[in-house]
């Protein structure tokens, strides 16, 4: 049998991606090697370049190649509003809406005591210092609606309130275009409680 250690290493590397199991990783590896060697080279080069050049913005912690990301450098942004998100992917989603014109703080995670993730791990002190020192009037907590995301939002809200900083939370409720009979009961209950 031929030596397949390079193929096995590729499959194991692809399995590190979220949502990719053994079969999917194997399918991707075989496709790249059998049908798209040029694509495999492109992917390899892009990964190496990104891993070598992309770092965290020193102000908001999102991904960037410079000291500051484009959003933090943008002089037209509303510096009085700061949106707190868990990940750079969450920030990208907020930016795609085109609805938020303030600045961001990316936690790079959320509180999760069971996983050993505490306030220091998500930069809570940096966020508090930034909110106090930069004239922020509103902090919008845009963490996920999981137990950990809710705990993170609650902890941040309490700490910011003690410092006199106004906090708001993303609204939650019935998705646009959905039919009420197919929406889960928890979502309906929150939508009813948070109605305006």
Per residue in 100-119, pLDDT (tens digit) is 999 999 999 998 988 888 88
Report the alpha-carbon distance of residue 9 to residue 112 in Å, rounded.
31
In a domain, 14, yes or no: yes
Structural domain range at position 90: 78-169
In a domain, 176, yes or no: no
Are 121 and 163 part of one and the same domain? yes
Report the alpha-carbon distance of residue 111 to residue 146 in Å, rounded.
11
Report the alpha-carbon distance of residue 91 to residue 105 in Å, rounded.
9
| Number of folded domains that form the chain | 2
Paired tokens of 34: 């059998």
In a domain, 27, yes or no: yes
Evaluate whether 141 touches 155 at the Cβ level (below 8 Å).
no
Confidence of residue 3 (pLDDT cuts 50, 70, 90): low
Are 44 and 84 part of one and the same domain? no
Per-residue pLDDT tens over the stretch 116-157 = 888 888 989 999 999 988 889 999 999 998 899 999 999 999
């Amino acid at each position: 049998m031929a030596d397949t250690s390079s193929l096995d290493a590729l499959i194991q590397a692809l399995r590190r991606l979220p949502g990719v199991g053994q079969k999917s990783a194997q399918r991707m590896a075989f496709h790249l090697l059998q049908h798209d060697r040029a694509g495999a080279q492109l992917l390899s080069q892009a990964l190496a370049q990104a891993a070598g050049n992309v770092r965290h913005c020193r102000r908001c912690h999102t991904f960037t190649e410079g000291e500051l990301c484009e959003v933090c450098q943008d002089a037209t942004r509303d510096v009085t509003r700061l949106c707190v998100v868990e990940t750079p992917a969450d920030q990208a989603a907020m930016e795609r809406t085109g609805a938020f014109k303030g600045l961001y703080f990316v936690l790079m995670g959320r509180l999760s005591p069971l996983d050993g993730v505490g306030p220091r791990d998500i930069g809570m002190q940096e966020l508090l210092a930034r909110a106090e020192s930069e004239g922020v009037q509103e902090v919008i907590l845009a963490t996920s609606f999981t137990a950990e995301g809710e705990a993170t939002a609650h902890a941040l809200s309490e700490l910011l309130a003690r410092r006199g900083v106004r906090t708001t939370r993303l609204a939650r409720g019935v998705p646009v275009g959905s039919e009420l009979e197919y929406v889960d009961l928890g979502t309906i209950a929150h939508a009813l409680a948070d109605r305006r």
